[in-house]
Structure 1
Amino acid sequence: MTDLVRLDINLQTPQGCGVRSSGGPLLSRRYVGGAGQQVHLIEGGTERDGAPLYCLHATAYSGQSLAPLVRALAPSRRVAAMDTPGYGASDAPAQRLDLPGYVDAVEAAFNAAREGCIDIFGYHTGALIAAELARRHPGRVRRLVLIGVPFFSGDEQAAWRHRLAQPATLTADLDQFRERWDFFVRDRPPGVDLGKGFENFVDELRAWPNGWWAHDAAFRFDVQECFAAIRQPVLIINPHNHLAAASRQAAAALRRARIVEMPHLANGIFDVAAGEVADLIDGFLNEE
């Protein structure tokens, strides 16, 4: 098997040679890595003078959740949303990883894709993976964009781990999915239609019953030590949801951070405001 395989397929229907929303640019998929370590990417845009932007999703979603953002950014740069190992269409790790283990796997995917200098976007658990990558590689990661940073410690971090990192067991009972169905479909945010809510529900269930693994890793990670060592410019985009206060604390812990408050947004931000978020990211990444 080669290290690099490209598949152009439709992200929303089983036929076609790409994905295009109404008026949006064509996106493609590919896999990087070797047997048993295949990592799935959703990509858009073409090579330009600037660094490509890699996007890391929240748990237990996949890069599919970031497809609207990839589509919005594609006219101005090469951009890719990566499925963290164990999520979406990426191979699952053989055992539960700590956060540095996820960083190792993502870094291996960058190497398999033969990437040099990159920019990174991270959301929730993806924000911590992105931050640790930036800390490890100040010469390779040029700029960092974060949303929904779970910047917790001590008892608060332990409480979030207890809430979100509970082991699950697959059973024959349909009711085990009731809470997630209500969250994604019945109680979906305004502006998210029924079809998109169902798509998000299915996307998360692909990681079941091990979707909690990355939450467990994130809420055991020393975020203070990591953020104190980051030297790259960082943009934190801050919708006013349950992580707004934590994201402000993250900005205060960074040496070169800028925070943009978005009080009119809360949840479902990539489904309802991808263009607005993309404009902020483009402006930040294009600065001298």
Structure 2
Amino acid sequence: MLTAHYAPSRFGQLHYVECGEGEPVLLLHQTPRSWAEYRDVLPLLGATHRAIAMDTVGYGASAKPADDQSVEMFADGVEDLVDELGLDTFHLVGHHTGGVIAVEVAARLGSRVRSLTLSATPFITPEKRARAVWKRPVDWVRPNPDGSHLLELWNRRRHFYQPGQEAALNRFMADALRVLGRAEDGHIAIRLFAMDERLPRIAAPATVICGQDDDPSMPSFEPMVRALSAKGHIVPGAGVPFPEQRPEEFARLVREAVASAEVADG
């Protein structure tokens, strides 16, 4: 059974949903989503582990500080949550933006992160940082009195979802509209992140996964695998909403990464 909770942090209340018992697995969502991205993954992981999906600072039902968003700020929220929950060690999973946040968390917390699974995580280079503020908005739309911006936002994401996956797209819309005025801030934050300085500090064994149909993320797959000497898996039939499109496969790959680290730890 999924249960929802709040925990205090330096930013205010952090919202998270969890399922199951055992070794904790913390999941971080993409921008501008919420824990709901893992709604179908949580019970699968919860069958063997304590699966926790948090709302990143600024998103979902978590606190929304007025400060400029940054990967470091998002990671501060993650660190506050794991400390508040008393998680001495845990396994870490991040999808898209959540993967970039996971890189920073793993670089900071060292051996506390027992394994790291990065799903469709952008590989941020100095060249990408230089172009960060000039990129076309991904999810921000200008609100119109006639509500036409709702259709514009829907169509921005529609091609990522297959026919019959409208329920998942509805969940995206609910998350995006909740933070519409700042829907682009998370994307800008990850493009400004000095990833090249943080990757060498990661000690956790890493697994990199990506949906074969995730066109924005596939170019980052091989560079990330090489940078972390990671295991890599490309999954057919999955795209940008991988955890919602293929929850069983997503959970299986996370379980394999977790089990491999647990065996290595002895």
TM-score by length of 1: 0.82
Worse-superposed segment, 126-135 or 190-199 = 190-199
Quick check: 1:235–1:257 contact (8 Å CA) kept in 2?
A: yes
Is residue 225 of structure 2 the alignment partner of residue 268 of structure 1?
Answer: no
Quick check: 1:118–1:142 contact (8 Å CA) kept in 2?
A: yes
Listed as ranges, the matches of 1:150-229 within 5 Å are: 150-159=122-131, 161=133, 162-164=135-137, 170=143, 172-184=145-157, 187=159, 189-190=161-162, 192-229=164-201
Listed as ranges, the matches of 1:8-87 within 5 Å are: 26-33=1-8, 37-46=12-21, 48=22, 51-87=23-59
Aligned-residue Cα RMSD (Å) equals 2.2
Quick check: 2:37–2:243 contact (8 Å CA) kept in 1?
A: yes
Consecutive unaligned residues in structure 1, runs of 5 or more: 1-25
Consecutive unaligned residues in structure 2, runs of 5 or more: none
Q: Secondary structure at the match of 1:86?
A: coil
Among candidates 220, 223, 242, match of residue 249 of structure 1: 223
Q: Which amino acid aligns with 2:26?
A: Y
Is residue 64 of structure 2 the alignment partner of residue 92 of structure 1?
Answer: yes
Worse-superposed segment, 215-224 or 259-268 = 259-268
**Which residue is 1:16 aligned to?**
none
Q: CA deviation at 1:157?
A: 4.2
- The whole-number CA distance in structure 1 between the counterparts of 2:19 and 2:78 is 19
| C-alpha distance after superposition, 1:203-251 (max 9, x if no partner) | 2211111122221111101111111221210011121212012122111
Pick closer, same or farther for the CA change 1:106–1:168 going to 2, 3 Å.
farther
Q: Secondary structure at the match of 2:76?
A: helix
**Which residue is 1:22 aligned to?**
none
- The whole-number CA distance in structure 1 between the counterparts of 2:238 and 2:132 is 22
- The whole-number CA distance in structure 2 between the counterparts of 1:190 and 1:128 is 26
The number of residue pairs the alignment matches comes to: 258
Q: Secondary structure at the match of 1:202?
A: helix
Pick closer, same or farther for the CA change 1:116–1:246 going to 2, 3 Å.
same
Q: Secondary structure at the match of 2:222?
A: helix
Q: CA deviation at 1:201?
A: 1.1
Q: Secondary structure at the match of 2:41?
A: helix
Is residue 259 of structure 2 the alignment partner of residue 286 of structure 1?
Answer: yes
Q: Which amino acid aligns with 1:40?
A: H
Pick closer, same or farther for the CA change 1:68–1:160 going to 2, 3 Å.
farther
- The whole-number CA distance in structure 2 between the counterparts of 1:39 and 1:126 is 16
Higher relative contact order (CA 8 A, sep 6+): 2
Is residue 90 of structure 2 the alignment partner of residue 118 of structure 1?
Answer: yes
TM-score by length of 2: 0.88
Quick check: 2:123–2:195 contact (8 Å CA) kept in 1?
A: yes
- The whole-number CA distance in structure 2 between the counterparts of 1:192 and 1:156 is 35
Q: CA deviation at 1:194?
A: 2.9
| C-alpha distance after superposition, 1:21-42 (max 9, x if no partner) | xxxxx21100011596111101
Name the % identity: 26
Q: Secondary structure at the match of 2:248?
A: helix
- The whole-number CA distance in structure 2 between the counterparts of 1:195 and 1:166 is 18
